[in-house]
Amino acid sequence: MKTKIAVAQGDGIGPEIMDAVLKIFNANDVQLEYEFVEMGKSLFDAGHSTGMTAAAKEAIEKYGILFKGPMETPKGKGVKSINVTARKVWNTYANQRDFRSLNGVNTVFSKAGIPINITIIRENIEDTYGGIEHLLTYDVAVGRRIITRPGSAQVIRYAFEMAQRKGLKKLACAHKANIMKLTDGMFLEVFQEIAKEYPDIEASDIIVDDLCMKLVSKPEMFEAIVLTNLQGDIVSDLCAGLVGGLGFAPSANIGDNISIFEAVHGTAPDIAGKGIANPTALLLSGIGMLRFLGFSSKAAQIENALLYTLEQGVHTGDFGDKSIPASNTMQFADAIIANLGKVPAKGAIEATADVEMKSHVAHLSKNKLTITKGIEEEMVGVDIFVETGDMQPNELAAIAKKQLTYNDNFDLVMISNRGTQVWPTGSIYTELVNEYRVRFEKKEGKTVTQRELLHIAADFSQDAKVCSVEFLMNFGGKRGYTLAQGQ
């Protein structure tokens, strides 16, 4: 019985490269059955705000696998990226991208004899990709960066399991916890906790800017790296550059119930319909999908044929030896088909143990909810964000102190502007915008309620425009909020 999967051909060059890849699969008698689904730009243009039909959503959730070509999200129409939406809606929490040197794809590193073999695991759901943004004033925009303990644990555990499965010896956690102490700090803390369960894997951490420098100077230092969403997005594209570009970079989005395998390069509308696009990235993503589905032998045969073909100098117009005539998309696919059963001189791929496909979601009746319980919580204050016109810090402090005449359980402890303290101490050289954060904290020995904190904000609104309110919390005896720069 053939395994059924949903296939979305994509926009631009998507249908051409998808046809080429499926032709290779069929030539190697891969036991897949395809249900083609409608997703992408044409659906946005037709008025579907999600970029997919209801039938597409139903098929993907039924089969648990989506194989998709590159897709375009229309610009300036207020719609969300179909690529990000698909990953988030179906909780494909781990984005795995394997980057390695390919024979026949010349790079700075291949010319220097430095082989690249790095796996990036990127958290795929959270971070700034929540897309939660607000204009607090005309001059001040704020985006929420959401990092959760359960979400971090999901992707980090997947990274360790992946490293163990692939026989890797090292896994690094890249972060910016030196600056983002609560968000990246949580991600790093979870990494360090889970690392204790995998003593055979050398776990380390590295600040992400230092990582970028080392990736372009000493990439051989790394085997696998796990990162938060935005940092992982940037670093994975950097790694694509190490091996020849996005045209050679596969992508798998892994979830507990649904997984997506896709090409992450652009739709290349300038060459769409010309039949000259490079299908390698989508083919490599498809090979990863075959392994995920348990077709390891078929995957190895196709990958060996691809490597052999590249080794022979066959190429599309975007890469390769320019003294050898370029193949078009289907000629490139036909060359791979002709080389099925052949093995490259170096870098041959062996079939690995089958990986059982994760079950689809047909049995689910409600959303999964994960909560850490048993942690002592204490409410200790409030940050009130206000718009002030051209007010100076001392003027705002005088207004803020008025609130304390109504409630003596609190102290006014700090006012900041763009994260830098400007009251009670600061510098006249700190440039200001028209939005401040005013922090009230409870006095020692006092107990406060959420209602009291909201009353402070309500009273404050009589003298200044309140833009936003954040409660200050302690969890397990530790402060759950950061100090301002200079506080």
Q: What percent of the chain has pLDDT over 70?
A: 96
The predicted model gives 303-311 an average pLDDT of 96
What residue ranges do the domains of the chain occupy? 1-92+255-373, 94-251, 377-479
Please say if the pLDDT value at position 193 is more than 90.
yes
pLDDT of residue 76: 59
Residue 325 confidence (pLDDT) above 80 = yes
Give the residue-averaged pLDDT of 299-303.
Answer: 96
- Distance in Å from the first CA to the final CA of the chain: 66
- Do 94-251 and 1-92+255-373 fall under one CATH topology? yes
- Rounded CA-CA distance 400/395 in Å is 9
Task: Write out pLDDT tens, residues 48-68.
Answer: 888 889 999 999 999 999 999
Mean pLDDT of the 167-176 span: 97
Would you say domain 94-251 falls under CATH 3.20.20.140?
Answer: no
pLDDT band at 130 (very low <50, low <70, confident <90, very high): confident
CATH classification code of 1-92+255-373:
3.40.718.10
Q: What is the mean pLDDT of residues 6-14?
A: 96
Quote the pLDDT of residue 367.
81
In a 3-state reduction of DSSP, which class is residue 46?
Answer: coil
Q: What is the DSSP string of 332-364?
A: HHHHHHHTTT---SSSPPPPPPP-PPPP-STT-
Give 421's contacts (C-beta < 8 A, 6+ positions apart): 414, 415, 484, 485, 486, 487
* pLDDT for the residue 45: 83
Residues 406-446 pLDDT 10s: 778 999 999 999 999 999 999 999 999 999 999 999 999 99
Q: What is the pLDDT of residue 389?
A: 86
pLDDT at 361 over 80: no
DSSP 146: B
Question: What is the rounded average pLDDT of the residues 377-397?
Answer: 94
User: Residue 437 in contact with residue 393, Cβ under 8 Å?
Assistant: no
Q: Tell me the per-residue pLDDT of 215-270, one tens digit each, with 9 for 90 and over.
A: 999 999 999 999 999 999 999 999 999 999 999 999 999 999 999 999 999 999 99
- Evaluate whether 361 touches 61 at the Cβ level (below 8 Å): yes
> Is the pLDDT score of 362 beyond 60?
no
Average pLDDT of span 16-45: 95
Structure confidence at residue 368 (pLDDT): 81
Mean pLDDT of the chain: 93
pLDDT at position 469 over 90: yes
CATH 3.40.50.300 describes domain 377-479: no
The percentage of residues in the chain with a pLDDT greater than 90, rounded to a whole number, is 82
Q: How confident is the model over 228-238, as pLDDT tens digits?
A: 999 999 999 99
Identify any residues that bridge with 261 across adjacent strands, giving them in sequence order: 67, 252
**What pTM was estimated for this model as a whole?**
0.91
